Structure 1
Amino acid sequence: MTLQFLLTAFVVVIAPGAGVIYTLALGLGQGRRASVAAAFGCTFGIVPHLLAAIFGLAAILHTSAILFTAVKFAGVGYLLYLAWQAVRSDGAMAIQPNRNRDADWRIARQGALINILNPKLSIFFLALLPPFLSGNPATAIFEMMTMGAVFVVMTFAVFVAYGVFAAAARDYLLQSERAMRWLNRGFAAIFATLAGRLALERV
């Protein structure tokens, strides 16, 4: 494993995406523990795509237009659902004072679905990992699994950091109804935009 891979993986992980936004929203809305559960779920959601890329199953998804489209629009629908949950006063994503915290398993499940229903991830890993292989076919799978494990651990650590930061800012933001209102609208707009981008993806 090279320093170049570690730097590339870190840049990819810290880039804001649906998982980061979800973790930030849960940290702001429900606190530190909720943000850790969100980070765990989002991280778990990339594992199926990672394994598909390592064992050559990603090609099946991306050679079948029907399967790709089905998974894609399931993901689009789910992102739009999260957008709706952000603007509802009692929604799971809404930032409100004195709200009850959702169960950890429910938060993690929602986070996992964000990535599981994103068919772009498997082809992303198929493009990310091979360039950093040593060139020895006998160790290729082991090397990809090792890099994949590092990527997963790095993802979880960075997402937790995002979530803890958001949770630390929670008390300040909850003092302003205007800030909460605009944050909820902002998160809804981001999820809707991500849904639109995913809808335009092609095999």
Structure 2
Amino acid sequence: MLEIQTIAMFVTASTLLALAPGPDVLFVLTQSMTKGSRAGIVIALGLCSGLIFHTTAVALGVAVIFQTSAIAFSILKFVGAAYLLYLAFMAFKDASKSKLESDKSPISFSALYKRGIFMNITNPKVSIFFLAFLPQFTNPSLGNVTGQIFSLGALFMLSAFVVFTLVSLLAGRLGTWFSQTKNGEKILNRIAGTVFAGLAIKLALSSR
């Protein structure tokens, strides 16, 4: 059982980290602006669900592989970069469509949820970050360390989801207002495409 003071410190740190302008929050921001708040919240749920993979990787020691194996790290990051480039292509493609064409091809919440999960698990730096971050808040004297890791992972997911939900609501309102302006949707999609392409390049060039 984690101590209350440790939980408070961990939740505070997790919230601040979730607020930092990293790939996940930028992903939620752009998707919420182009597809609406509900879509952003679903993607946020997917991103946070993906953290189960990284928490498990740390708890079982698998995350060490990404830290020590250049091949494993590279494979996962290039898969993630390729997926981001695909999203960038689709965003630019949507920017070239008319509003009527865009309205005919909505993305299901199921697809958005899967998009969030895939976006998260294909970033090996999250596993390496968790490997360095989560154990700092464990205490072997309190019992099962593996159980503590999973508890901390769950708290991080909850903190991140709350932050991402707030970002989704604010970005969704901004996107709705902006899309009502002339060529607003096209501009939003181009911004999203540029962000995705930038994230892809950053991930592809990242090192352990």
- Determine which structure has the larger helix proportion and give its number: 2
- Rounded Cα–Cα distance in structure 2 between residues aligned with 1:60 and 1:135: 23
Is residue 191 from structure 1 mapped to residue 196 from structure 2 by the alignment? yes
- Alpha-carbon distance change, 26 to 167 in structure 1, aligned in 2, over 3 angstroms: same
Describe the SS at the equivalent of 1:136.
helix
Q: Once the 2 structures are TM-superposed, how far is the Cα of residue 4 of structure 1 from its aligned partner?
A: 2.3
Is residue 52 from structure 1 mapped to residue 57 from structure 2 by the alignment? yes
Aligned partner of 1:81 in structure 2 is: 86
In structure 2, runs of 5+ residues without a counterpart are 1-5
- Alpha-carbon distance change, 60 to 125 in structure 1, aligned in 2, over 3 angstroms: same
- What is the RMSD computed on CA atoms of the aligned residues? 2.3
Count how many residue pairs are aligned between Structure 1 and Structure 2: 201
- Pairwise mapping of residues 15-164 of structure 1 onto structure 2 (< 5 A)? 15-89=20-94, 99=103, 100-136=105-141, 138-164=143-169
In structure 1, runs of 5+ residues without a counterpart are none
Describe the SS at the equivalent of 1:176.
coil
Deviations 1:132-182 (A, max 9, x none): 222427332222221111101111121111112222223311111344333
Q: Once the 2 structures are TM-superposed, how far is the Cα of residue 90 of structure 1 from its aligned partner?
A: 6.5
- Rounded Cα–Cα distance in structure 2 between residues aligned with 1:173 and 1:85: 20
Q: Once the 2 structures are TM-superposed, how far is the Cα of residue 59 of structure 1 from its aligned partner?
A: 0.9
* Contact 1:29–1:96 (8 Å) recurs in 2: no
* Contact 1:50–1:122 (8 Å) recurs in 2: yes
* Contact 2:25–2:164 (8 Å) recurs in 1: yes
* Contact 1:39–1:159 (8 Å) recurs in 2: yes
- Alpha-carbon distance change, 111 to 71 in structure 1, aligned in 2, over 3 angstroms: same
Deviations 1:117-140 (A, max 9, x none): 111111100111111222427332
Q: Percent identity?
A: 32
- Rounded Cα–Cα distance in structure 1 between residues aligned with 2:202 and 2:90: 19
Q: Once the 2 structures are TM-superposed, how far is the Cα of residue 95 of structure 1 from its aligned partner?
A: 11
Normalised by the length of structure 2, the TM-score is: 0.86
- Alpha-carbon distance change, 202 to 65 in structure 1, aligned in 2, over 3 angstroms: same
